[in-house]
Each structure stands twice: as C-alpha cells, then as structure tokens.
Amino acid sequence: MKVAVVGATGMVGNVMLQILEERNFPITELILVASEKSVGKQITFRNKNYSVIGLQDAVNLHPDIAIFSAGGQTSLDWAPKFAEVGTTVIDNSSAWRMNPDNKLIVPEINASELTKEDKIIANPNCSTIQLVMALAPLHKKYKIKRLIVSTYQSITGTGVKAVQQLENEYKGVKGEMAYHYPIHKNAIPHCDVFLENGYTKEEMKLVQEPQKILNDRSIAITATAVRIPVVGGHSESANIEFENDFNVGEVRKLLNETPGVVVQDNIDTNTYPMPIYAHGKNDVFVGRIRRDESQPKTINMWIVSDNLRKGAATNAVQIAEYLVENKLI
C-alpha cells in the first residue's frame, strides 16, 4: 500500500501522520509531499526519517492513495493528475466538495456510496463533519425540517499563522496577523471570505454540505460562523426543527448509540462538551440537549469536536480505511 500525504508539512498534514501511525494504517511505502519550498525537509514517521518530495515526483511514484491537505488550488491542479495514474485521492480542501461528480464522505454516514470508480473523494469541511455526525441519526428518525447553527471555531482552523498571532498577543509581541483584528480576548464573526449574499464561505459550506451528505436538499439551513481564541476544537450551537415529534430521552439514547458520537449531558454535574476536553480526541461530543420551548418539534444541542482530527485528518484516514477494507483500491 503506497500512501502519499500531500501537504505533509502543514498543520493538518502533521495530524494526518499522527493518525496514520495511531491507527496502524497498512503502509508499505510512505510518500511525503509538499510545495517546492519544503522539498528536502525531513519528517519522522514510525521512527524512520523521510524526505519531502515535490508533487510531480509523487505522481510518478503512482501511489495507491493520496491524502491531500494542501489547499484548494493545489487540489484542483494536482488531484486529477494523481487520479489519471490510478491513485485514489482523498481531498481535504473545498475544491471538489460540491462537484456533483464527487462524493462527499463521512464514513459513519455515507461511505457505502463509494465505488472503485471514485478516484477523487471529498473530505467535508471540519465544522460540517461534527454537525452531520450528530444530525444523521436524528434526521433518519425524525426528519429535519430546519436547522439554525452558530459555530465557535478554533484558530487552528485558520492554520499556523493564526496560532502564532494568538501566541504573540498573549505575550504582547507585535507580529504577522492572520486576522483583520486581534483574536486574544475577542470573537470575530468572520470565518473565510465574505460572499455576495452577505454570508461567509464557511457559513455557506454549513448550508450546502450537510444537504449533500444527508442526501436531502429540502433541509432549510442558516449559519453564523465565529472565530474564537481557542485551540482545542470547534463548538456549535444547533437548533433543529423536525417534521416529527421526539422524546428528549430517546434523542440522548439515539446519539449515545451512534458510533463516533459521545453524549456528555448532565447538568447536575455540570457535564457538557468543551473544546479543552475534545482536544486530541477523535469523537464528536454532544450535550446541552433540550427541547426548544418557543416552538414545537424543535431541539437545541451543543456539539464539539477536535477540528484537526475528526474535522479533518481522522475523517480522511477513516475514508482510506474503508477503501482498503472493502477492496475499493
């Protein structure tokens, strides 16, 4: 099994390698790939040193799987070149997600859609993944009519530059800014670029991607995405209106029985999900589950997950595991 990690020197690429090692993914040859400026860098994996190579050299090696986390333009330019030589690409950028010819996969929900013909598979947005992990079992049981979601997103979703900005601000040091404003002691209602409709690109991902993954365009979704000064993961407040009524205890039980979802919901002991505890874990944590008393058939919940793990790297590796287990490569 020849596995290429494209964007191996980046924040998500680094976590990708950790997860491949943790989950003992079957690799006979590891190919670490990055931009020209990183070629020749040394990275240790399973106690062995590897040299980073360029994209064309990686294509020439014909890997079985290439996991991309190198930005949208790199994916648009290079994923088809890998696919042409028979490589199955799992892409972590937004480049292919809403393309009707490419599957958008969260393994616990829709991996069964995958076939050998799928050569470029899209990994959903980080905030989408944790959201649909909680929504999928509820949609199946009660049918979601409308969703209002507000996200409180970790700076790690922006990358190393944002982490450095926060650290500089903690220390009172002037440095390069990832955001238009200070992030320390602040909340910035601006994730990704603004679009013509007044929403950000991140907010529209939260509208469109769940509809595609759940295979239901009738779900009405509106979103607000906010960047906050935390590193452990993304948090989401979800208000979900169903077609059919529900029992709150039944909702908790349903979520608790969902693989990859952990219910943390006991107000007597102040137990609820928080990014400080989600950090470094692969599960999606759900709590503050309560009926919306302002209108019928509606529930509120709080959803937290490590955005670099289940929100990115873990989900991508799980897709790769599914491909191997089901002999789709």
pLDDT per position as a tens digit, 185-224: 999 999 999 999 999 999 999 999 999 999 999 999 999 9
Share of the chain above pLDDT 90, in %: 99
CATH of residue 302's domain is: 3.30.360.10
Task: Give the angle subtended at the CA of 284 by the CAs of 280 and 290, to the nearest 5°.
Answer: 135
Q: Would you state the structure tokens that stand for residue 139, as one six-digit string?
A: 């949609």
> Mean pLDDT for the chain?
97
114 lies in the same domain as 142: no
261 lies in the same domain as 141: yes
74 lies in the same domain as 110: yes
CB within 8 Å of 22: residues ≥ 6 apart? none
Which pLDDT value is given to residue 55?
Answer: 97
Confidence of residue 182 (pLDDT cuts 50, 70, 90): very high
State yes or no: is 191 an active-site residue.
Answer: no
109 lies in the same domain as 236: no
Confidence of residue 327 (pLDDT cuts 50, 70, 90): very high
171 lies in the same domain as 302: yes
pLDDT (mean) for 43-68: 97
pLDDT (mean) for 7-32: 97
Note the pTM of the prediction, 2 decimals.
0.97
Confidence of residue 101 (pLDDT cuts 50, 70, 90): very high
Which pLDDT value is given to residue 80?
Answer: 98
242 lies in the same domain as 190: yes
State yes or no: is 180 an active-site residue.
Answer: no
CATH of residue 85's domain is: 3.40.50.720
Catalytic, out of 139, 191, 234, 279: 234
> pLDDT tens digit string along 107-163?
999 999 999 999 999 999 999 999 999 999 999 999 999 999 999 999 999 999 999
Q: Is 289 helix (H, G, I), strand (E, B) or coil?
A: strand
Q: Is 191 helix (H, G, I), strand (E, B) or coil?
A: coil
Alpha helix stretches (DSSP H) within 172-313: 201-213, 248-256, 275-278
Residue 207 CA to residue 253 CA, distance in Å, equals: 27
303 lies in the same domain as 317: no
Please give the helix or strand (H or E) that residue 32 lies within, else none. strand 29-33
Catalytic, out of 126, 139, 191, 279: 126
Which pLDDT value is given to residue 22?
Answer: 97
100 lies in the same domain as 146: no
- State how many domains the chain has: 2
Which pLDDT value is given to residue 73?
Answer: 94
Contact 305, 7 (CB under 8 A): no
Contact 127, 234 (CB under 8 A): yes
Q: Which structural domain range is residue 69 located in? A: 2-124+312-325
Torsion angle (degrees, nearest 10) of CA 32, 80, 316, 300: 140
23 lies in the same domain as 106: yes
pLDDT (mean) for 44-52: 96
CB within 8 Å of 219: residues ≥ 6 apart? 139, 144, 145, 146, 147, 210, 211
Residue 252 CA to residue 32 CA, distance in Å, equals: 42
Residue 103 CA to residue 213 CA, distance in Å, equals: 8
31 lies in the same domain as 135: no
Nearest alpha-carbon partner for 168 in 149, 183, 187: 183
Confidence of residue 67 (pLDDT cuts 50, 70, 90): very high
154 lies in the same domain as 83: no
Please enumerate, as own/partner, the contacts of 46-53 that have beta carbons within 8 Å and a separation of 24 or more. Answer: 46/21, 52/8, 52/9
Residue 75 CA to residue 322 CA, distance in Å, equals: 22
Which pLDDT value is given to residue 176?
Answer: 96
300 lies in the same domain as 172: yes
